[in-house]
Structure 1
């Protein structure tokens, strides 16, 4: 569950009660107001997590005292802003809008989405005839998009693909927080697709670092981010239908909110 500024309900009251029980001065109003958000930001900062005031599974893990070592850290966002030569608010806005929020489905298993039409293409590139496999596994090998199972079940689909050709299977998945396709491994500076995959498995920080490499190798995308041209950035990253999901509007609003937070804190 995600809780943002202005949300109202018993679930907000439960959060406020939990925060009070671990030593924070919070009134149970059932309203996620500025004072509650400020406490959540302090919890995030102490845990080293992204400090955005949005309460979700990662902040919940910190509140419950659970392990957060693999989760995205604020320091990684600062590092990314440095490498991209942009302000921190820009990186935080992109992370908020363009990332999946969770980089792992379980333990050391990054979020993946297996693309069967890409797998067909990667098999052809390796001079492997995909047609016999398409007849046997139409959900895994096809010239058409689709067949998605979602969540941990995507690993079952990838497992079938690995039995046909493991490198092509890895290349045919999008990986981690920012869903970078495995076939980009070489252009992103990895020695092999296996080393790319191992890097994604280590942490969400590494998944962000991969995203930074992806932006740096696309000059137009990088330029749009540096100039805060959110419509251009959203179109280049999400495709021509970006405006249907208001990605550009969401980026602009998130950027303003993070700038306001930083101004208030300084």
Structure 2
């Protein structure tokens, strides 16, 4: 199910307008996603407990059809994060819109994951405890890489996507369960498992269990990630989108226009009236 947003004109928009009217909106159903339709979408999202971003994405359209929204990210979570981080609410809307994958769960109910074989290779060769033999660990990592190159490899790649990523993760767990879970990115915001300790989780199991429970917990991990990086938080507060994107998305941020997308999203949400300053 595709997302509908301001500026769209289609039969799907017409059906959206009719569904909103059935829930109290008073739109002229003309198939044109203009200001009135965006405001009606935000109003419905607030009523339904969804993120009020004005975009009729799969979650909003599914909610209109009566789907269960209990595990989805809610507007209250974004408002709380803005207060907690001391940033504009519109900035939180922007990073949620651009940096999330839209949905944190797959159709089978499992959280979205992406297994990184090059991270698995690095972690297998990294000493964790006093007395660990670094050379022996590295040799073991190289042996596994030679035997299971799809799961342990100094080079990234081998992605299968979707539910197949859970199959890759399950296979990697047979080699080393801890390293496997730490070598995957988790949830809508794709937080790497190896960050669990720095983000204040009791264990990797605590981290993955919470991520699997709801999008709110996935967003909590994202907020903790920002809190743990003072430079990232400073860039967000100042709305220095290029600096924020470089630290969060990596060197390829410019090629993928993350900073441009963040700026555009922020301006759209600020213009709608949700960009009020939130006290720290």
Short-chain TM bin: over 0.9
2:265 aligned with 1:254: yes
Residues 263, 44 of structure 1: CA spacing in aligned structure 2 closer, same or farther, 3 A cutoff? closer
Where does 1:68-79 land on structure 2 (aligned, <5 Å)?
A: 68-79=69-80
Match of 1:212 among 216, 223, 234: 223
Residue number in structure 2 paired with 1:101: 102
For normalisation by structure 1, the TM-score amounts to: 0.94
d(CA) in 1 for partners of 2:238, 2:26: 41
Match of 1:199 among 210, 225, 240: 210
Residues 183, 204 of structure 1: CA spacing in aligned structure 2 closer, same or farther, 3 A cutoff? same
1:264, CA displacement in angstroms? 9.8
Please report the RMSD computed on the Cα atoms of aligned residues, expressed in angstroms: 1.8
1:83, CA displacement in angstroms? 1.4
Residue number in structure 1 paired with 2:10: 9
Deviation per CA, 1:53-91, whole angstroms, max 9, x where unpaired? 100111012101111011110100011111111121111
1:22, CA displacement in angstroms? 4.5
* Number of residue pairs aligned between Structure 1 and Structure 2: 265
Where does 1:87-98 land on structure 2 (aligned, <5 Å)?
A: 87-98=88-99
1:14, CA displacement in angstroms? 2.5
Where does 1:115-194 land on structure 2 (aligned, <5 Å)?
A: 115-125=116-126, 127=137, 129-194=140-205
Residue number in structure 1 paired with 2:53: 52
Residue number in structure 2 paired with 1:244: 255
User: Which secondary structure state, in structure 1, belongs to the residue aligned with residue 106 of structure 2?
Assistant: strand
d(CA) in 2 for partners of 1:46, 1:215: 28
Residue number in structure 2 paired with 1:65: 66
The answer (yes or no) to whether the contact 1:185–1:196 under 8 Å persists in 2 is yes
Residue number in structure 2 paired with 1:42: 43
d(CA) in 1 for partners of 2:159, 2:43: 39
Residues 75, 22 of structure 1: CA spacing in aligned structure 2 closer, same or farther, 3 A cutoff? closer
Deviation per CA, 1:15-50, whole angstroms, max 9, x where unpaired? 223334455333331211222222211210111111
> Which stretch has the larger CA shift, 76-85 or 101-110?
101-110
d(CA) in 1 for partners of 2:263, 2:113: 27
Which segments of 5 or more consecutive residues in structure 2 lack a partner in the other structure? 128-136
Residue number in structure 2 paired with 1:27: 28
> Which stretch has the larger CA shift, 145-154 or 21-30?
21-30
User: Which secondary structure state, in structure 2, belongs to the residue aligned with residue 113 of structure 1?
Assistant: strand
Q: Which runs of 4+ in 1 moved over 6 A?
A: none
1:197, CA displacement in angstroms? 0.4
Which segments of 5 or more consecutive residues in structure 1 lack a partner in the other structure? none
Residues 186, 264 of structure 1: CA spacing in aligned structure 2 closer, same or farther, 3 A cutoff? closer
1:108, CA displacement in angstroms? 4.3
User: Which secondary structure state, in structure 1, belongs to the residue aligned with residue 185 of structure 2?
Assistant: strand
d(CA) in 2 for partners of 1:246, 1:195: 34
1:217, CA displacement in angstroms? 1.1
Residue number in structure 2 paired with 1:225: 236
